[in-house]
Amino acid sequence: MGMADLGLRLAGLPVFGKLAEEDRRKLARLAVCKHYEKGDFIFRQGEHWAYVMYLAEGRLGWSILSEDGRRQALHEVREGEMVWGHSFFDDLPAPADLEARELSLVFRWDRQTIASVVSRSVDAVWDVSRHLAGATRRAREIVYGFAFKTAAQRLASLLLSRYPYPEGQPAPRDMTLDEMAGFVGVTPALICRLLYGFAERGMIRLTRAEFEFLDRKRLEVFVADGNRSAA
């Protein structure tokens, strides 16, 4: 991806879309391009990472590590999204890991570069505040899921968000049982049982290579109303 293409992409993003075109071109020129292989860590929990990053290609995943070594997946960063490092705002260590879930291409800026440009636009600064509010709401949804939803509901919610496909359209099974277990907070064996429970009740179809919704609406209702008998 060239710098001109990056500048065009930035124009469609929160914060950056509020900047003058000249400032976006400047940021595109100053961006540091980096590639990450699947399994590479952009940063680790406890590290200082005061950067802003644009994910041009690939997929990243947030996760936290407990003191006894258990890993809990949180949410993913998709192509076209931004990452604002926690250390960028408070100079404290990162509270979670950020890992490449597949081959990824990113563009990165340090705090001084971003602050010197964004601070010139009141609308851009306001958008930064909106981003922080959105991050807080996302964290609330994660906490809510673990506090008030069953493992089956959390798995159903993961499937609905991870596979935005209509009924009858097969999708590649690109998540392992271990990865699903990391998001849901249970063992891979339980994930397997829950998946086959959904399949036996006619909500999904599973093969070794593919996943398909058969009754997406029923799965959505199950997540929304807590009808635990569905799983």
Give yes or no for residue 85 having a pLDDT over 50. yes
Sheet containing strand 71-78, edge to edge, reads 41-43, 97-100, 59-65, 71-78
CA dihedral 93, 23, 8, 121 (to 10 degrees): 70
Q: How confident is the model at residue 28 (pLDDT cuts 50, 70, 90)?
A: very high
Stretch 131-160: mean pLDDT = 86
Catalogue all structural domains in the chain, each as residue range(s) with its CATH number: 3-146 (2.60.120.10), 149-230 (1.10.10.10)
State in Å, rounded, how far the first CA of the chain is from the last one.
45
Task: Provide the whole-model pTM.
Answer: 0.73
- The confidence score (pLDDT) of residue 135 equals 83
Side-chain-side CA neighbours of residue 113 (13 Å): 19
- CB-based contact 168:215 (threshold 8 Å): no
Give yes or no for residue 212 having a pLDDT over 70. yes
Structure tokens at 148: 């008030």
